[in-house]
Structure 1
Amino acid sequence: MGVAMETNYNEEDKYYRAKKKVENIKGFYGNLVSYILVNIFLIGINLYTSPDHLWFYWPLMWWGLGVVFHGMKVFEVFPAFGKDWEEKKIKEFMEKERDSKNKWQ
């Protein structure tokens, strides 16, 4: 019975992780669409109101950098710092805390 419950928990855990990943991907695409639409609007405003003084590239560049990093995180371009790394570090710190408490009891 314990094994069946563990398997069920693992399936639930897998579902939760997959759902979270899909939500993160949707969030990235929402950010990307906003980036494109807002920057098209800003380029239009800049070219219409002050074509001699171009400033649209500043939000294009800085927000674009944010979009790139967001995408790198969502699509785990550097998996060493992905969710598995976070969970491994959390477990490591929890074990150190437990060992430290046991040492002084």
Structure 2
Amino acid sequence: MPLSDKHPTVKRRRSQLLNHFLAFFVFAVIVVPVNFFTTPDHVWFFWPLVGWMGPLALHTAYAMGLFDRRD
């Protein structure tokens, strides 16, 4: 049975996921200008962001309860 939106576990998971998205956004806002100011002829900012998207997708799935055990 799915947990209610008011359940403490759901609230905690959502809060942690929001923090993860916020960290990703802040990192992106920093790394893109660093790339264009240091090496404008070589675009590399995309690769760290792509590397972070995998764990972010897994964290999103976890926060949605896709890895919860069904008894």
Which TM-score bucket, shorter chain as reference?
A: 0.7 to 0.9
1:2-30 superposed Cα distances (whole Å, 9 cap, x missing partner)? xxxxxxxxxxxx8xx91122111100000
Q: Shift in Å at residue 39 of structure 1?
A: 1.1
Distance 1:42 1:72 in 2: 26
Q: TM-score, normalised by structure 1?
A: 0.57
Match of residue 72, structure 1, among 51, 61, 69: 61
The higher-RCO structure (CA 8 Å, 6+ apart) is 2
Gaps of 5+ in 2: none
Higher helix content, 1 or 2 = 1
Q: TM-score, normalised by structure 2?
A: 0.80
Aligned partner of 1:45: which letter? V
Count residues in correspondence.
67
Gaps of 5+ in 1: 1-13, 89-105
Map 1:23-34 → 2, pairs under 5 A? 23-34=12-23
Report sequence identity in percent: 19
The structure with the largest alpha-carbon Rg is 1
